[in-house]
């Protein structure tokens, strides 16, 4: 049997792996249909599209020097449906960010209870001191965290 690039042949599926399907083309010639060449739609599981023992038409992609033959079912389907519009698979883009509940878009920060200070009678100096104290605490936590990641400060070569 002559195997030439671009030729459409009929074969029987002899084995299925997670990366493709092996097809017996006859006369002891076997080729591989890669998972990307199974269908025009997304192929998650090859077993959903082909079965062992099934007779299919394949297009020869490229026989290489080692004797491996690349085959395509997808290109045969595309050639048969050239005049027709083949629907492309539709993928839903899923957002990784959870959708927040709808809120009033014109709300001001002062409208939220959590934004209001607990004691509205604080003077500017009191608010400034409160901010400075919170800032110092955060900086202290950051420094302590960085020191714990660096280690105890002594070199490993000095330990016995």
**Which tens digits make up the pLDDT trace of 77-117?**
888 877 555 555 555 556 566 665 565 555 555 555 544 55
Asked if 33 and 48 touch (Cβ cutoff 8 Å), the reply is: no
In Å, how far are 11, 93, 157 from 147, measured between CA atoms? 67, 42, 19
Closest of 69, 6, 5 to residue 34, by C-alpha: 69
**Which tens digits make up the pLDDT trace of 8-59?**
889 999 999 999 999 998 888 889 999 999 988 888 888 888 999 999 999 9
Domain boundaries, the chain: 8-80, 109-150
CATH number of 8-80, picked from 2.40.50.140, 3.90.226.10, 1.10.10.10, 3.10.20.600? 2.40.50.140
Query: What six digits make up the tokens of 120?
Result: 């509205």
Query: What six digits make up the tokens of 3?
Result: 């195997």
In Å, how far are 86, 127, 137, 147 from 141, measured between CA atoms? 60, 21, 6, 10
Q: Phi/psi of residue 92, each to 5°? A: -90, 130
Q: Is the dihedral of CA 30, 31, 32, 37 positive or negative?
A: negative
Can you give the pTM of this predicted structure? 0.49
């Amino acid at each position: 049997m002559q195997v030439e690039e671009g030729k459409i042949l009929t074969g029987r599926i002899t084995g299925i792996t997670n990366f493709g399907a092996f097809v017996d083309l006859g006369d002891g010639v076997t080729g591989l249909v890669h998972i990307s060449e199974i269908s025009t739609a997304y192929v998650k599981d090859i077993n959903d599209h082909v079965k062992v023992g099934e007779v299919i038409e394949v297009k020869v992609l490229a026989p290489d020097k080692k004797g491996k033959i690349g085959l395509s079912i997808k290109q045969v389907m595309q050639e048969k449906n050239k005049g027709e519009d083949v629907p492309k698979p539709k993928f839903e883009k899923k957002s990784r960010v959870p959708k927040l509940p709808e809120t009033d878009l014109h709300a001001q920060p002062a409208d939220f209870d959590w934004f209001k200070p607990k004691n509205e009678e604080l003077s500017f100096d009191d608010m400034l001191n409160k901010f400075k104290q919170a800032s110092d605490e955060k900086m202290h936590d950051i420094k302590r965290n960085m020191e714990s990641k660096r280690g105890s400060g002594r070199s490993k070569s000095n330990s016995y």
